[in-house]
Amino acid sequence: MRVECGTYGCNLPAAVLDLSDDMNNSALAAMDKIHMAGVDWTHAGITRREAFAFTEEALAQALDRAKAYLPEGTDCGCFIVSTCNRTEIWAHGDGGADLPAVLCALKGACVEQCRDLFTLRRGEAAIRHLFLTASGLTSQIVGENQILGQMKDALALSRRVKSGGPVLDRLFLAAISQAKRIRTETSIAKARASTAQAAVDCIKLRCGGLAGKKALVIGNGVIGRLCAQLLLREGLGVSMTLRRHKLVESPPVGCSTLNYDDRYSALCDFDVVISATSSPHWTLNLEGVAGVWDGRERLFVDLAVPRDMDPALRNLCGLSLLDLDSLSNAGLAGGVNVESEKIERIVGEEIDRFVRWLDFRPHLATILMMEEALAAGTPVSKLLFGLRDVLDGDALNACFAALGKSLERARGSGAGGDPPPAEGEAREGRKLEGPKGAAPRGATAPVGGGAGGALLSWFPFFLNVSGKLILVAGGGKIALRRVKNLLSFDCRIRLVAPKICPELELLGGLYGERLTFERRAFADGDCAGVDFATAASDSRAVNSRIGCECRERGIFVSVADAQEESTFFFPALIVKETIVAGVSSGGVDHKGASRAAEKIRTALA
């Protein structure tokens, strides 16, 4: 068993591998509560690795069982990551749980016979390992992009079974966000490295010319579909198996389909057979293949962990069987040429950002108390004068110096890039022209219509947002107002922005998985999968892109600096226990809406 408590031994320059000199004792202590144990391809072949692999259904059950082995507490948590390259169990807490023993118990394995397979990491080494893993930099195929989706799946599953806890949840989110940043700011994504690409490269090398050859792909998941698409581009005739009892996506255009139950009888029609499923059973066993085998040379490629194809198939004359480790050993999993300097900078910055959050986290409750005291009318001077009784002179001077710098930053650039008045959201009291036919300001609408009998455009629906995912683009004051309103409701918020203001950072620490950050510019496709969105960035062009993408996808969107591009408005919101009221003028009279909201607020007080 290998133990890594310091820096992670990868091929990146040493500068990215040790931040401990810049960290205080409290940060190091907080990091030390994060630990993991893993079995991966570097020290375990596929035969031993697959013994620790989980199907999706088994993984949910394992996470639920794992909680019984780990310390209890609001901060404690557990994640399991299971991919073709690795199975890792992650924990956060004060206890010293024997993670290899936990993982072995979950898989019914003898820990004493398996300890040599495990690598243990704690603190900084564990955090760095996760960041590099999320970027595909510790995979057999360096830079492969499937790991990012697998990390997202692990995060989603832990939330579903409520196993992760706030710290691990934030850690995995930070790792995913950092991986996206690396793929955006370096050329790693251009290589399109993947298990499927390595398999197709191998097929080309082993089979020579591919013209006229036929391939069967078993499995309609991500890897199977990608293999089919790549083989089609190489000119092969491709068939893909489908199961009758499962609702699956249609195969890629150009693929023919084959009933999964007919795979053995049709096997000899193909030159290449690829299997990439999550099945707990063999998709091709020796008995079934031997019963139809004609002895002609064929290449079988097994891309699954646990394996899909019976290793005994290698005993059949003319059948060549490759698995994931075979691709690596053949030098076909080289991946991409890593841009070390750029990755060094990004990994270092993002780890530092996470550690600062982790170190600051114990103070969030105090900040919340201060906000409540200020809201109740307690003078700032009274709070600050109290520091004289608990700090010595040097500490007091340092505290006020830091507060001064923080105030200067807050007064400076707007901390997060709030839109300038010319392009930002309409400010309070600012006169806007309404849409054509809108009522004049201050007009009273008769029953059955708006001012002068004109029909109104905006109907105040109350939608059930429980569990819905909401995209907020922007990290400034407008985004802050949107987020504060949304946090009163049972929804999830994904905020995308290159810069995030301190107030939002504070809310992120308080609300954990309900408010997640991706520190980067908005990218096309970010609206996929969200239920509605609000564009509140400081860029007119970006807000317009968001509005356009949402309208094309049929997603409700509020565009802060262009009401004509919005399909809904954020109202002035009043929440009193179970009563919720929203007031909007349709973008015509913000001041009037504000006055009306205040009257309702007073009436409900």
Structure tokens at 447: 């029953």
Helix (H) / strand (E) containing 176:
helix 165-185
Higher-pLDDT residue of 250 and 438 is 250
Angle at 425 between CA 420 and CA 431, to 5 degrees: 105
| pLDDT band at residue 277 using 50, 70 and 90 as cut-offs | very high
Angle at 36 between CA 32 and CA 39, to 5 degrees: 155
Helix (H) / strand (E) containing 81:
strand 77-82
501 among known catalytic residues = no
Tell me, yes or no, whether 203 and 185 share the same domain.
Answer: no
Tell me, yes or no, whether 483 and 397 share the same domain.
Answer: no
Nearest of 331, 322, 336, 335 to residue 46 by alpha carbon: 322
Q: What is the arrangement of strands in the sheet containing 319-322, beginning at the earlier edge strand?
A: 256-259, 237-242, 214-218, 272-275, 298-302, 319-322
Distance between CA atoms of residues 275 and 217, nearest Å:
6
Higher-pLDDT residue of 216 and 378 is 216
Alpha-carbon dihedral 2, 3, 8, 10, rounded to 10 degrees: -10
DSSP 309: B
Which of 270-274, 320-324, 421-425 comes out lowest in average pLDDT?
421-425
User: Is residue 587 a part of any domain in this protein?
Assistant: no
Helix (H) / strand (E) containing 257:
strand 256-259
Check whether 208 has a pLDDT greater than 80. no
User: Mean of the pLDDT values across residues 477-497?
Assistant: 91
Q: What residues have CB less than 8 Å from 50, skipping those under 6 apart?
A: 305, 306, 307
Which of 383-387, 503-507, 525-529 comes out lowest in average pLDDT?
383-387
pLDDT tens per residue across span 65-118? 887 877 776 678 899 999 989 999 999 987 668 999 999 999 999 999 999 999
User: Is residue 106 a part of any domain in this protein?
Assistant: yes
User: Is residue 425 a part of any domain in this protein?
Assistant: no
| 293: CATH | 3.40.50.720
* Residue 204: alpha-carbon gap to chain centroid: 34
Nearest of 103, 128, 104, 174 to residue 13 by alpha carbon: 128
Tell me, yes or no, whether 285 and 140 share the same domain.
Answer: no
Q: What is the arrangement of strands in the sheet containing 515-518, beginning at the earlier edge strand?
A: 515-518, 492-496, 469-473, 532-535, 556-559
Dihedrals phi, psi of 509, to nearest 5 degrees: -70, -35
Distance between CA atoms of residues 328 and 198, nearest Å:
9
Q: Are 287 and 309 in contact (CB under 8 A)?
A: no
Dihedrals phi, psi of 446, to nearest 5 degrees: -75, 165
Distance between CA atoms of residues 389 and 385, nearest Å:
8
The pLDDT of residue 323 is: 92
User: Is residue 597 a part of any domain in this protein?
Assistant: no
Length of the chain measured in residues: 605
Structure tokens at 290: 């031997």
Tell me, yes or no, whether 94 and 228 share the same domain.
Answer: no
Helix (H) / strand (E) containing 205:
helix 195-207
Query: Percentage of residues in the chain with pLDDT exceeding 70?
Result: 83
Alpha-carbon dihedral 256, 262, 264, 267, rounded to 10 degrees: -20
Domain of residue 566: give its range.
468-570
Query: Percentage of residues in the chain with pLDDT exceeding 90?
Result: 38
User: Is residue 500 a part of any domain in this protein?
Assistant: yes
428: exposed, middle or buried (C-beta count within 10 Å: 0-12, 13-18, 19+)? exposed
Tell me, yes or no, whether 345 and 388 share the same domain.
Answer: no
pLDDT tens per residue across span 121-159? 999 999 999 999 998 888 888 888 788 889 988 988 888
Beta bridge partners of 300: 273, 321
Distance between CA atoms of residues 416 and 474, nearest Å:
8
Check whether 196 has a pLDDT greater than 70. yes
Which of 93-102, 174-183, 243-252 comes out lowest in average pLDDT?
243-252
Structure tokens at 521: 């510019």
Nearest of 451, 415, 457, 420 to residue 435 by alpha carbon: 457
Higher-pLDDT residue of 506 and 587 is 506
Higher-pLDDT residue of 40 and 369 is 40
Torsion 125-126-127-131 (CA) sign: positive
| 152: CATH | 3.30.460.30
Tell me, yes or no, whether 289 and 303 share the same domain.
Answer: yes
Distance between CA atoms of residues 336 and 402, nearest Å:
44
Tell me, yes or no, whether 35 and 141 share the same domain.
Answer: yes
Tell me, yes or no, whether 199 and 183 share the same domain.
Answer: no
Distance between CA atoms of residues 236 and 213, nearest Å:
5
Check whether 363 has a pLDDT greater than 60. yes
The pLDDT of residue 66 is: 87
Tell me, yes or no, whether 177 and 267 share the same domain.
Answer: no
Tell me, yes or no, whether 565 and 491 share the same domain.
Answer: yes
Total structural domains within the chain: 4
The pLDDT of residue 574 is: 82
Nearest of 299, 274, 297, 149 to residue 224 by alpha carbon: 274
| pLDDT band at residue 298 using 50, 70 and 90 as cut-offs | very high
Nearest of 270, 275, 264, 260 to residue 307 by alpha carbon: 275
Q: What residues have CB less than 8 Å from 82, skipping those under 6 apart?
A: 52, 53, 54, 59, 88, 154
Which of 210-224, 418-432, 437-451 comes out lowest in average pLDDT?
418-432
Give the pairing of strands 256-259 and 118-122. unpaired
User: Is residue 217 a part of any domain in this protein?
Assistant: yes
Q: What rounded mean pLDDT belongs to the chain?
A: 81
The pLDDT of residue 244 is: 67
Tell me, yes or no, whether 300 and 313 share the same domain.
Answer: yes
The pLDDT of residue 118 is: 95
**Of residues 84, 207, 491, 527, which has the active-site annotation?**
84
The pLDDT of residue 7 is: 39
Q: Are 43 and 133 in contact (CB under 8 A)?
A: no
User: Is residue 528 a part of any domain in this protein?
Assistant: yes
Tell me, yes or no, whether 115 and 146 share the same domain.
Answer: yes
Dihedrals phi, psi of 155, to nearest 5 degrees: -65, -45
Check whether 466 has a pLDDT greater than 50. yes
User: Is residue 451 a part of any domain in this protein?
Assistant: no
Structure tokens at 557: 């969107």
